[in-house]
Chain A
Amino acid sequence: MTELATELLPWVVAVPLVGAALTPAVAAGRPRLSGGWAFAVMLLTTAIAGVLLVELAQGGTFRYEVGGWAAPYGIELRFDHFASWVFPLAALFVVILPFSWRYLDHVMPDERRPAFYALLLLNAGGMIGFSITGDLFNLFVFMEVVSLSSYALVAVGGRGLAAYAALKYLFIGAVSSLLTLFAVAQLFVMTGSLNMADVALRLAEVGGTPPVMVAFAALGVSMMVKAAAFPLHVWLPDAHAIAPSPVSAVLSGMVVKVGILGMLRVYQVFFAADVLDLGAFNQALVWLGAASIVMGAFFAIFQDDIKLMLAYSTISNIGYIVMGLGLATPYAVIGASVHVFNHALIKATLFLAAGAIIHQTGLRTLSDLRGIGRSMPQTSAAMAIGAVAIVGLPPTAGFVCKWYIALGAFEADQAAFGFALVFGALFIFVYYIRMVNAFFFQKPVHEAVAAAREVPWSMRAPIALLATLCLLMGILGGIPLNFVEGAVLAKLAAGVP
């Protein structure tokens, strides 16, 4: 089993990347085939990730040397508890892809589909590679694979506004990637190594010199831009709101987590090296998180456009995760780690349901969509479940994580932040009430809304599945919590969160 899992590790990256490269060839002359091809590729990837997950649960972290070159000289892939996130990630793609088949009819002509699916697969492959690599430069390369495909995916809907939003995203994203490259170069100059574990060892000898601090700061800022924490969030709302809904689900649910995961990786290196006092930095993260929670939720209230509102709620939820990491107590870090996945699930539910509503009515503002709950009851119900989950009410997926993070705030003797967290949830609750009120308790003002019918089953099934999972993850929330608990506690004991 160990043998097999180790040999499969590179394939979990290679399958989606090669699949992306082959998409135009497979779909030559039959553009609609590309959707099914992408689905098959992600299904295979999910199966591989599942094998890896089982191995991780049984035997712990394992590694693979790319090309047979031993670390620290070669590139090393490793599968640890943080990397295990590739399984739910691949699985979410499997659910989102069928939704996109029919959705794309209104977004682009058939002949552009192969490019779209190639980009989506590239995006998935990049995120998986980013999660499992043990090499700093490789981390940068995969970060750029994810970023570049995201820029293109934002613009894929055509029209000028999408291109402009994508270009703004590109400028900020490229500067943040550049900061990562600079920091990696700086660390390479200081230590002469690129392997994360090796850099940590050698940094301990170098000590906390100013160049090391600069590198750490550059990495921190870069990852927070990617994660869209509050003052660095400006690129997110337009880009996520304007992208086609399946893409919004991917961007908002998963691509922003690249920043979070990157932050965790940077932390692993610097905690192991133990050369910088990270207490002040942790405190900065907590403040950043609190600001994101409150401001994201605050902006969300004033949005009339449902997708823009969901985009702002992403900023708020990233705040929860960032705050959880910054609090650095067992409860908070466990909660934050699990929320990385649960938020992806909830956001996918919400964006797909919103996409279905926009697809059927052509309208996207709350005031226009009044009464949609009568004509599209199932989709609206899914949206309501997603909204309950994003507020964090029991018994949904959002509750367990936020509860853990709040407990962590009290555990860290920072009760004020626990209240900031509850305060943010109240803001989101206001928005949720507004939406439920508009959807279910008001009369339709548009004929399109009154005449709207439910979406076809290929779109309805993914939404129903995701909404069910939102509820199930609340009841079975203990499973992922217990899964990361051991790893988090072991690392906190060793000084690594």
Chain B
Amino acid sequence: MLLFGLDLDYVAIVALFGIGLYMLVAKSNLLKKLLGLNVMETSVFAFLVTAGMVEGGDPPILVAGTGAPFASPIPHAMVLTGIVVAVSVTAVALALIVQIHAHYGTIEVDELKELP
């Protein structure tokens, strides 16, 4: 499907990436920044998943009734790895945010800046 002469999925992916980047840069709340980072990650994963798509392709699992062409399984394996990495990053970030909150009592960047 086309939008402005571009594939719709690519338009959606770029839009998602932009939304995530905006949240990461513009929001003052550390949790919202982290959510923005997650949205960005999702957009790149979506890009990878669409890369494995083959027109009319079957899932790359050999059972009775399936045959070539198959969808490429490599991007799926990559996205799985990517998700694991993203979850780890999120976990570390959340742990840090908890520490910041415990120490300063706030997770707003503009309030953190005013602290000594």
Give the complex CA separation of A175 and B93 in angstroms: 13
Chain A residue contacts of B112, Cβ below 8 A? 164
At the interface, yes or no: A266 with Cβ under 8 Å from chain B?
no
Selected interface stretch from A144-152, A370-378, A398-406: A144-152
The answer to whether B104 touches A160 (Cβ under 8 A) is yes
Residue of B nearest to A189 (CB): B51
For residues 1 through 39 of chain B, which have their beta carbon under 8 Å from a beta carbon of chain A?
A: 21, 24, 30, 33, 37
Which of A141, A166, A170, A185 has the largest count of B CB atoms less than 10 A from its CB? A185
Chain A residue contacts of B44, Cβ below 8 A? 178, 181-182, 185
The answer to whether B92 touches A175 (Cβ under 8 A) is no
Interface residue count on the B side (C-beta < 8 Å): 29
Which of B44, B51, B93 has the largest count of A CB atoms less than 10 A from its CB? B44
The answer to whether B96 touches A170 (Cβ under 8 A) is yes
Residue of A nearest to B77 (CB): A137
- Min distance, Cβ A57 to any Cβ of chain B, angstroms: 35
The answer to whether A174 touches B30 (Cβ under 8 A) is no
The answer to whether B99 touches A163 (Cβ under 8 A) is yes
Of the candidates A148, A161, A163, A175, the one whose C-beta lies within 8 Å of that of B88 is A148
The answer to whether A155 touches B33 (Cβ under 8 A) is no
At the interface, yes or no: B66 with Cβ under 8 Å from chain A?
no
The answer to whether A181 touches B92 (Cβ under 8 A) is no
Give the complex CA separation of A106 and B112 in angstroms: 26
At the interface, yes or no: A457 with Cβ under 8 Å from chain B?
no
- Min distance, Cβ B45 to any Cβ of chain A, angstroms: 9
At the interface, yes or no: B71 with Cβ under 8 Å from chain A?
no
The answer to whether B47 touches A160 (Cβ under 8 A) is no
At the interface, yes or no: A275 with Cβ under 8 Å from chain B?
no
- Min distance, Cβ B28 to any Cβ of chain A, angstroms: 13
A167-B89 contact in complex given A141-B81, A182-B44, C-beta closer than 8 Å = no
At the interface, yes or no: A171 with Cβ under 8 Å from chain B?
yes
- Min distance, Cβ B3 to any Cβ of chain A, angstroms: 18
The answer to whether B103 touches A171 (Cβ under 8 A) is no
At the interface, yes or no: B59 with Cβ under 8 Å from chain A?
no
A178-B92 contact in complex given A137-B81, A160-B99, C-beta closer than 8 Å = no
Chain B residue contacts of A171, Cβ below 8 A? 24, 33, 37, 93
Chain B residue contacts of A178, Cβ below 8 A? 37, 40-41, 44
Number of A-B contacts (CB under 8 A): 77
**Contact string against A for B residues 66-105, beta-carbon threshold 8 Å, 1 for contact and 0 otherwise:** 0000000011001001100100110011001101101110
Chain A residue contacts of B93, Cβ below 8 A? 167, 170-171, 174
A170-B99 contact in complex given A137-B78, A141-B81, A178-B40, C-beta closer than 8 Å = no
A174-B37 contact in complex given A167-B93, A167-B97, C-beta closer than 8 Å = yes
Which of B24, B47, B100 has the largest count of A CB atoms less than 10 A from its CB? B100
A167-B96 contact in complex given A160-B103, A160-B104, C-beta closer than 8 Å = yes
The answer to whether A155 touches B85 (Cβ under 8 A) is no
Of the candidates B30, B48, B85, the one whose C-beta lies within 8 Å of that of A144 is B85
The answer to whether B47 touches A185 (Cβ under 8 A) is yes
The answer to whether A141 touches B47 (Cβ under 8 A) is no
The answer to whether B100 touches A152 (Cβ under 8 A) is no
- Min distance, Cβ B50 to any Cβ of chain A, angstroms: 9
- Min distance, Cβ B23 to any Cβ of chain A, angstroms: 11
Of the candidates A137, A166, A194, the one whose C-beta lies within 8 Å of that of B96 is A166
The answer to whether B75 touches A188 (Cβ under 8 A) is yes
Give the complex CA separation of A164 and B95 in angstroms: 11
- Min distance, Cβ A244 to any Cβ of chain B, angstroms: 16
Of the candidates A161, A164, A170, the one whose C-beta lies within 8 Å of that of B92 is A170
- Min distance, Cβ A384 to any Cβ of chain B, angstroms: 33
Give the complex CA separation of A163 and B37 in angstroms: 18
- Min distance, Cβ B107 to any Cβ of chain A, angstroms: 10
Chain B residue contacts of A163, Cβ below 8 A? 96-97, 99-100, 103
A164-B100 contact in complex given A175-B24, A185-B47, C-beta closer than 8 Å = yes
**Contact string against B for A residues 131-150, beta-carbon threshold 8 Å, 1 for contact and 0 otherwise:** 00000010001001000100
Listed from nearest, the 6 A-B pairs whose CB atoms lie closest are: A160-B103, A163-B99, A167-B96, A189-B51, A163-B96, A185-B48
Of the A-B pairs whose beta carbons lie under 8 Å apart in the complex, a sample of 13, sorted by A's number, is: A148-B85, A160-B99, A163-B96, A164-B112, A166-B96, A167-B93, A167-B96, A170-B96, A174-B93, A175-B40, A188-B74, A188-B78, A189-B51
If A144-B88, A178-B44 are given as contacts, then 12 extra A-B residue pairs at C-beta distance below 8 Å, sorted by A number, are: A137-B78, A151-B96, A163-B97, A163-B99, A170-B93, A174-B93, A175-B40, A178-B41, A181-B82, A185-B44, A185-B47, A185-B48
